[in-house]
Amino acid sequence: MGAPFTDIEIAAAPFDPEAAHADFRRRVDGAGAIVAFTGLVRGKTGDGEDVSRLTLQHYPGFTEKEITRIVSKASVRWPLVGSRIIHRTGDLESGEPIVFVATASIHRRAAFEAADFLMDYLKADAPFWKKETRGDNAMWIEPRAEDLIDKARWRDSEGDANARDQRDS
């Protein structure tokens, strides 16, 4: 297994998660496990209110750099064959894919944990700014306590996670 490859893409237009998965699968020769997370825009907020549109802003250059840093953390921690991240920006409608994270490893636990980790870190640390439009009302979304808790899950188990990677898929 050589160095893991990483594809990071900021997409201003709708993307096709299945095409990304197919492309990723072709590239992960030797992997036994692929985990793919697809996030979809929900038409309702946590309180059940309708969201008519979601607008994502990113900071070109810096956002890619920060995501690269997050992926590097995962690559150090788990023996990945490769990873792929696609993140939308711009205006999104309900049901549209907003994020795609795929990881491949020889063993399934590493692929699961790395994808889960990447999503937690993206949610907490990736430089995106979101505006929800509800009817005539637009509001910027600020980070939620839950996202920081999700990220904190990975803090105190570094040794543990490494030990588990060594097992068979």
* Binding site residues, another protein, CB under 8 A: 57, 59, 61-62, 65, 67, 87, 99, 119, 122-130, 140-143, 147
Interaction pattern, residues 75-104, with a second copy; x per rule: CB under 8 A: --------------------x---------
Q: Which residues pair with 90 in a beta bridge?
A: 56
From its phi and psi, is residue 30 left (phi > 0), alpha (psi between -120 and 50) or beta? Answer: left
Q: For the chain, what's the residue count?
A: 169
Shortest CA distance to 2 belongs to which of 82, 87, 58, 94?
A: 82
Interaction pattern, residues 101-140, with a second copy; x per rule: CB under 8 A: -----x-xx-xx--xx--x---------------------
Q: Could you give the CA distance from residue 72 to residue 84 in angstroms, rounded to a whole number?
A: 12
Task: Provide the binding-site residues for a second copy, judged by CB under 8 A.
Answer: 17-19, 21-22, 25, 28-44, 46, 95, 106, 108-109, 111-112, 115-116, 119, 144, 146, 149-150, 167-169
